[in-house]
Amino acid sequence: MPGACPGCGAPWDPDVTGACRYCRASVRTEAGDLLDPSLDAVGLGRLLGGALRAGQAAGRPLEPLAELLGRALGPAVTIERARRSGVVERVELVAGDWRLALVAARSGLAGTAVHQVRGIVLKREELSADEWVARAASELSAWSGRDGAVRAALVAADPTAR
């Protein structure tokens, strides 16, 4: 990606749709096609991180994140709630070969990333909440480049993309 927006000259800082946050222009080739069909991982990270921070501020850390991912990705997201209180305790996202889970525990949020191919676990990592957000954003960015419906759902879920 270029260092400056071709439309307004501002430092290039695209939103989740790939458009400039200042003038809403997008980077296009001479043929008029987008340079990269995937969504910007930085914008997705801001979207997921913002949902996580909003939940933490409200005392229900995974609630907005679970709602956002569930609405945008449907069956690719598993949400587990506490039986008595109904509070979201775990959010699991399946993106390609990766299974990313974020769990609310008494000590805070803990994430895991499991790379699994044909039922064989190749890699398992423990992640902090920030690392989980970055990994989820990266995987969703790649997924959005392969699947237009996922891209459209994520764009629709971003309140700043309008």
pLDDT digits (tens, 9 = 90+) for 144-158: 877 778 888 888 877
pTM of the full structure: 0.72
pLDDT value, residue 24: 67
> Residue 91: which H helix or E strand, with range?
strand 88-95
Ranges of residues in the chain whose predicted pLDDT is under 50: 1-2, 28-35, 162
Cα separation, 140 vs 138, in Å, equals 6
Cα separation, 145 vs 86, in Å, equals 34
pLDDT value, residue 1: 41
Cα separation, 35 vs 64, in Å, equals 31
